[in-house]
Amino acid sequence: MIYFAAAYLIVWAIFLSYGLILGGRLRRAERRIRSSR
């Protein structure tokens, strides 16, 4: 059970972390492009 839980926690933690990083980069880029135009 511990291995199963660890594997699924890792998968969702990676997706969440990458999603947050990507979302942050997207918001930052959108803001910079709006202020540059």
Partner 1 sequence: MPPRKGHGCSQGGQPAGWDSLAAMGIVAGVSMLVSLVLILFFAPLEKEMGIVQKIFYVHVASAFAAFTAFGLTFICSIAYLVRRSRAYDQVAASSVEVGLVFCTIVLLTGPIWARAAWGVWWTWDPRLTTTLVLWLIYVGYLLLRASAMRERRRAVAAVYGIIGFIDVPIVFMSIRWWRTIHPVVIELGGIGLSPRMKLVFFITLLAFFLWYLYLLMIRWRVAALEEEIDDLRKRRISEGSIP
State in angstroms the smallest separation of the CB of 15 from partner 1.
7
| Cα dihedral sign, 15-18-22-24 | positive
Site residues for partner 1, 8-37, by CB under 8 A, read 8, 10-11, 14-15, 18-19, 22-23, 25-26, 29-30, 32-33, 36-37
Distance (Å, rounded) from C-alpha 22 to C-alpha 36?
Answer: 21
Number of residues engaging partner 1 in binding (CB under 8 A) = 22
| Interacting residues with partner 1 (CB under 8 A) | 1, 3-4, 6-8, 10-11, 14-15, 18-19, 22-23, 25-26, 29-30, 32-33, 36-37
